[in-house]
A and B are shown apart, each in its own frame.
Chain A
Amino acid sequence: MDNRFFVDGEHLSPAALEKKHRLETDSSSRTNHMEYMNGMERINSDIMEKVLAEMDNYDYSKYTAKDVKAALEHETCSIEDFKALLSPAAEPFLEQMAQRARLETSKHFGNTVYMFTPLYIANYCENYCVYCGFNCYNNINRMKLNMEQIEHEMLIISESGMEEILILTGESKSQSNIEYIGEACKLAQKYFRMVGLEIYPVNTEEYKYLHECGADYVTVFQETYDSDRYSELHLLGHKRVYPYRFDAQERALMGGMRGVAFSALLGLSDFRKDALASALHVYYLQRKYPHAEMSLSCPRLRPIINNDKINPLDVHEKQLCQIICAYRIFLPFVGITVSSRESESFRNGIVKIAATKVSAGVSTGIGDHESKYNGKESDGTEGDEQFEINDARSLDVMYKDIAAEGLQPVLNDYIYM
C-alpha cells in the first residue's frame, strides 16, 4: 500500500491545476533536484557523499540474529552494529535493545527530560511537498503574524512556564524573509532561554545573522535521504534542491549555531535506510564539528488538512521504537526528540528508554495559542495547521506526567553565548 498524496483543491484555477498535474505525473516537467538554484551557497563538504554511499550499500536483509546479538554485546556500537540493530533481524530483540538504550540514556542524560514548544509564526509556503499541509497547492488559511502578534503568542507561552521555544515558518523567503525571522528571534530572547529555528535552509551568512539575533539551534529535516524518492515528493520550490538542504546543518554550524537537529520523516520511503542515513548524517558531522550539540527527531507521517488518508505506512510504533533504540545505542550522546505526532502512551514509554526531549502545549497552527491555552474563543483569524497532532497535553500536564514516571523534567539547560 502506498500513500495517496495528490489532492486537488477547488480553489485552483484551470491553469494552476494543469501545472500541478503535470508536476505530479510528468517528471520531465520538474527541475533537476540535484542542481543548485541561484543564490544557494555551496560549501566544501564530503559528508553527503559518505552518507549516501553507506545508505546505498545497506542491505538490511543480510543481517541475522547473530549479528544483532553481537551488536548488543559490543561496548561501543560500530556502523555495522548499528546496521544490524536497524534490520528486521533485530525486531525479536526489541526488549534487549530497549534495556541497553535505557542504560546509555541514563549514562549521558541521567533521568532528565527536556521540554520545549513550537511556535509557528507563518504558514506561507512556496514549495509543493505532496505530504505537507502547508504545501502551496493546499487550500488552507494562510497567515503571517506581525511582531505584535508574535510577542502576544510568546507572552502566553512564556506564562505557561516554558523556557525553550522553536520558531517555525512555512518555507517562503518572500513572505517570511530573514529579517522577519531575525526580529522574531530578538523578541523570543526576551521571553525564553533557548531559541531554536525550523525554517527554510539558508546560507552561512544568514545563519550567522540569525544567531546574532538570538537563535542557537537549527532544525532541518531532510524528509527522505533517498534522492530519487525525494525528487518525487518535493516537486516545486527551493526545497526541491536536495544537496542544499542536506548541507544546511553544516552551514548553520559554520554560521556559529550551537547545535543542529536532523530527521527523516518516517513513512516517506524505506524507513530503515532513512534511519541509517539520518544517524550517519549526525555521526559524520559530529566528527567534523565535535563541539556542536546534535539531536535527532523521528517524526512519522501524519494526516493533514484536506487529506486525512496520509499515514506512516509500515512504520508502526514497534518499528519506531526499534529505530529510536538503535539511534540511542549508536549515538549515546545525541538528543532524541519525540514530538506530539506520537501518542501520549508512546511518549510516556519512550522517555523512559531513549527520548530526551518532548514538546508540550503544542499547536501547529498560526496565532492560536490564546484559544488553545486559555480557552479564549477563537476569532477566526488563525492560520491552519501543518499536520494533526496526536498528543495535546499542556506543559503543566506533561511536566507532572514526566515526574510521575520517575523522571526529572527540565525546562532549561542552556545559556546563550
Chain B
Amino acid sequence: MEDKLILGGHEFSSRFILGSGKYSLNLIEAAVRDAGAEIITLAVRRANTKEQENILDYIPKGVTLLPNTSGARTAEEAVRIARLAREIGCGDFVKIEIMRDTKYLLPDNNETIKATEILAKEGFVVLPYMYPDLYAARDLVNAGAAAVMPLAAPIGSNKGLATKEFIQILVDEIDLPVIVDAGIGRPSQACEAMEMGAAAIMANTALATAGDLPLMASAFKNAIEAGRKAYLSGLGRVLTRGASASDPLTGFLRD
C-alpha cells in the first residue's frame, strides 16, 4: 500500500514541506528537486504587487502553494489574509499563523482556533501552526483543521525537538496528521520527529542557511524518509535503563 500524506482530501507523496521566511529561487529549486517538496509555503504579506521578483513566479507547476497568515495578530486579521490569498490565486490551502508577540513569535492558540473554525467553514484546507497543547489540538480538530502543526522549538532557533514530549502526546491522541513546524535545524531532528509518528516536517531556515543547499535538501529528504520507514516498521526495543532480565519475573505463572 502506498504511504500517502493526506491533507483535506489531497494526497501527497512527499513529507517535506518548505516553510516561508527565507525564499529564493535556489532554495525553491533545491526544495522541489532535491528534497522532493510538493508543498511550498508563501507569506502572503511578502507577495510583491509590482514587477520585481514575485515568489508566485518561482513556484514550479504541480507544487501546491500553502499561503500563510504571518503578520496576523488576531483571528480576524488571519481570516482577512487567508481570503486575500485566495483572491490572488493561491488556492484553498492556508497555514494559520497568529502571533501577538514579536520577540518570540509564539503562536496564539486561542486566536488560531477561532480563525480555523471560520476558514474551515469557508472551505479552506486549514493547517494551523500551534503551540503543542493537547486541549488546543482537540479544539482545532473540532474546528475543522486538516492537520495540526505544533512547533518543535521557537521559530528560527534551530533548537530541534524542544517540545518533544508534548508533540508525542499529540501524535498519540490526535487523529489528524501532526506536522512538525519551526525549530528543526538538522536532518537528524527531522528523522527523530518522523520516528515519533509525525506525518510531515516543515523547515526553511535549516535549508536556507546551509552551505550546500541541494545537498542539505537531499539530506532532509532521506532523513524524513528514514524516520517514516522506522515509524511504519515499528521501532525495535530500546532500553532506557538497566538490562533486561533473562529470567522473566512472571516465569512462575502456570495455568
B81: nearest chain-A partner, CB-CB: A415
Interface residues of A in 108-135 (CB under 8 A from B): 108, 110-112
Q: Of B23, B48, B80, B100, which one neighbours A290 at CB under 8 angstroms?
A: B100
Q: Is B157 an interface residue (CB 8 A)?
A: yes
Q: Mark A270-302, 1 if CB is under 8 A from B, else 0.
A: 000000000000000010001111100000000
Q: Are B50 and A161 in contact (CB under 8 A)?
A: yes
Contact digits for A392-417, partner B, Cβ 8 Å, 1 yes 0 no: 00000001000000001011111101
**A290 vs B102: C-alpha distance when bound (angstroms):** 6
Q: How large is the interface on A (under 10, 10 to 19, 20 to 34, 35 or more residues)?
A: 20 to 34
The answer for the CA separation of A241 and B55 in the assembled complex, in Å, is: 47
| Known contacts A107-B205, A110-B22, A413-B46; A399 and B52 CB within 8 A of each other | yes
| Binary per-residue interface labels of chain B (32-75) against chain A in the complex, 1 for a CB within 8 Å, 0 otherwise | 00000000000111111111100000000000000000011100
B102 and A111 contact, CB distance less than 8 A: no
Contact B73 A291 (CB under 8 A): yes
Is A106 engaged at the interface, CB distance under 8 Å to the other chain?
yes
| Least CB distance, B243 to chain A, in whole angstroms | 37
* Cα A163 to Cα B46 with chains together (Å): 11
The CA of A108 and the CA of B204, in the complex, are separated in Å by 12
B102 contact from A107, A333, A411, Cβ within 8 A: A333
- The answer to whether A417 and B208 touch (CB under 8 A), given A108-B156, A412-B45, A412-B48, is no
Q: A410 to chain B: which residues have CB within 8 Å? A: 46
* A20 surroundings in chain B (CB, below 8 A): none
Inter-subunit contact B22/A408 (CB<8 Å): yes
User: At the interface, yes or no: B7 with Cβ under 8 Å from chain A?
Assistant: no
Residue of B nearest to A334 (CB): B102
B156→A107 contact, CB < 8 A = yes
- How far is B158's CA from A108's CA once the two chains are assembled, in angstroms? 11
Residues of chain A within 8 A (CB-CB) of B47 are 412
Contacts of B22 in A (CB 8 A): 110-112, 408
Q: How far is the CB of B190 from chain A (nearest CB, A)?
A: 18
Contact A110 B49 (CB under 8 A): no
B254 within 8 A of A: no
Instruction: Check A291–B100 contact: CB distance below 8 A.
Output: yes
- B24 in the interface, Cβ–Cβ < 8 Å? yes
Residues of B within 8 A of A292 (CB): 102
Does B21 belong to the interface (CB within 8 Å)?
yes
Q: Is the CB of A415 within 8 A of B45?
A: yes
The distance in angstroms between the C-alpha atoms of A158 and B50, with both chains bound, is: 9
With a CB–CB cut-off of 8 A, which chain A residues contact B48? 163, 411-412
Chain A, residues 322-360, CB within 8 Å of chain B (1/0): the string is 000000000001000000000000000000000000000
Q: Is A193's CB within 8 Å of the partner chain B?
A: yes
Main secondary structure of the interface of B (DSSP, over half): loop
Which residue of the partner chain, among B44, B77, B205, contacts A417 with CB atoms under 8 Å?
Answer: B77
For B90-102 the 0/1 string (1 means CB < 8 A from A) is: 0000000001111
Q: How far is the CB of A113 from chain B (nearest CB, A)?
A: 11
Q: Does B84 contact A (CB under 8 A)?
A: yes
Interface string of B130-164 (1 = CB under 8 A from A): 00000000000000000000000000111000000
Query: How would residues 189 to 208 of chain A score, 1 for a CB under 8 Å from any chain B CB and 0 otherwise?
Result: 00001000000000000000
CB distance from A400 to the nearest CB of B (A): 11
Q: A412-B49, A414-B45 are in contact. Are A111 and B100 (CB under 8 A)?
A: no
What's the nearest-Cβ distance from chain B to residue A279, in Å?
Answer: 14
Contact A161–B102 (Cβ < 8 Å): no
Q: How far is the CA of A292 from the CA of B100 in the complex (A)?
A: 8
Q: Which residue of B lies closest to A396 (CB)?
A: B52
Q: Cβ of B50 and Cβ of A294 under 8 Å apart?
A: no
Query: Which residues on the B side are within 8 Å of A333 (C-beta)?
Result: 102-105
The answer to whether A106 and B52 have CB atoms under 8 Å apart is no
- With CB as the reference atom, state the residue of chain B lying closest to A111: B22
What residues of chain B lie closer than 8 Å to A414, measured between beta carbons? 45, 71
Tell me whether B13 is interfacial, beta carbon within 8 Å: no
Q: Which residues of B in the span 116-131 have a Cβ within 8 Å of any Cβ on A?
A: none
- The yes or no answer to B110 lying at the interface (CB within 8 A) is no
A290 B50 Cβ-Cβ under 8 A:
no
* B103 close to A163 (CB less than 8 A): no
Tell whether, in the assembled complex, residue A161 and residue B51 are in contact, meaning their CB atoms are under 8 Å apart. yes
Q: B71: which of A110, A161, A415 is its contact (CB, 8 Å)?
A: A415
Contact call A291/B46, Cβ cutoff below 8 A = no
Least Cβ–Cβ distance between A376 and chain B, in angstroms:
22
Contact B80 A417 (CB under 8 A): yes
For A412, what are the chain B residues with a Cβ–Cβ distance below 8 Å? 45-49
For B209, the chain A residues whose CB sits under 8 A away are 106, 110-111
Contacts A161-B50, A161-B51 given: A415-B100 contact, CB under 8 Å? no
Q: A291: which of B50, B51, B102, B157 is its contact (CB, 8 Å)?
A: B102
CB of A411 within 8 A of CB of B50, answer yes
Q: Which residues of A contact B77 (CB under 8 A)?
A: 417
On chain A, the residues within 8 Å of B21 by CB distance are 110, 112
A1 to B175, CA, bound (A): 72
Q: Is the pair A408, B24 in contact by a Cβ cutoff of 8 Å?
A: yes
Interface string of A79-111 (1 = CB under 8 A from B): 000000000000000000000000000111011
Nearest CB in chain A to that of B80: its residue: A417
- Which B residue's beta carbon lies closest to that of A332? B103
Residues of A within 8 A of B81 (CB): 415
Select from chain B the residue with minimum beta-carbon distance to A289: B102
Does B45 contact A413, Cβ atoms closer than 8 Å? yes
Give B164 Cβ to nearest chain A Cβ, in Å. 20
Q: Once the chains bind, are B44 and A111 in contact (CB under 8 Å)?
A: no
The minimal Cβ–Cβ distance linking B90 to chain A, given in whole angstroms, is: 13
Nearest opposing residue in chain B for A159, CB measure? B50
Query: What is the minimal beta-carbon distance from A283 to any residue of chain B, in angstroms?
Result: 10
- State in angstroms the CA–CA spacing of A193 and B52 once bound together: 14
Q: Which 7 pairs show the lowest CB-CB distances between chains A and B?
A: A110-B22, A107-B156, A291-B100, A290-B101, A415-B45, A333-B103, A161-B52
What would be 30 A-B contacts, judged by CB atoms less than 8 Å apart? Answer: A107-B156, A107-B157, A107-B205, A110-B205, A110-B208, A111-B208, A112-B22, A161-B52, A286-B103, A290-B101, A291-B73, A291-B99, A291-B102, A294-B102, A333-B102, A333-B103, A333-B104, A399-B52, A408-B23, A410-B46, A411-B48, A411-B50, A412-B45, A412-B47, A413-B43, A414-B45, A414-B71, A415-B71, A415-B81, A417-B80
